[in-house]
Chain A
């Protein structure tokens, strides 16, 4: 067992699950989406991005790309949240944008986890 693999696998999957946790729930209802979860999703996603750096194979490059997509979507969600809150224009449309951005990030995270699992299954050791 390789400790590096455990840690990176942990963060890849955690990024996906936390993202899902934030995304799950009625898209128009802010009470069902915790800001702490969004924060955690962003941090874990950033960590998993850094963990993916340095793998020069084709698959490593795709993994890194999906992770970068998730980061950008989550940063977008956070930015929208901050801007709307401080400009006091919290409405259903803005909130829906935040949730759908995190939904996009969730898709990227799912892709990345599928690729990761695929690679693990392929490996003969």
Chain B
């Protein structure tokens, strides 16, 4: 086809040609995959930040048996609630870092100017956040549940509820994290913004876990959790992209 005139700048011709995109332009999916890969790589290089919410979750769920009673029958009554409050606060703990570093070093600015839909990139960032906090929390939940006296038959239900519920929590949280970007020491404000919106997740999540512990069907609350997660997937990236654009002004 047409050879570039200037070998030092390959592709210039295509880009200068006007409305047509260069033939090697990155698609939205590729860009989103790169954002995901970059966030995962970074998190694995800074393990301290990664471990913090998990350690918090483990400590809180371990303290309850000491404070209430070592009697498993009594612990079992509060297990679902304890588990879910700890999971909610742990996922909130990690939220502050979701966009903060990218805002400071100008990465968000480059994302906003990349010509890629910012909504897709925000979705990728939130997905990375869930893989790094929500999923590990779901995998740790069985240990915590057992130490709170939950029977082993209830574990699949508990893992499922935490896994699905944290998807919704990450997405709701991403809106709050994006809205508080311009504010220094935004932690408290972020919690105030995010917690009320997270309450449905807490209620249905705890209910699903409780039903699982009592050996009853937990499908109904789990479906409601899934509905919340789908709602979040549809709307939250749009909202956080808009909030990020405002923060760049």
Please say whether chains A and B are actual partners in one complex: no
Which residues of B are at the interface with A, using a C-beta cutoff of 8 A? none
Hey, which bits of chain A sit against chain B, CB under 8 A? none
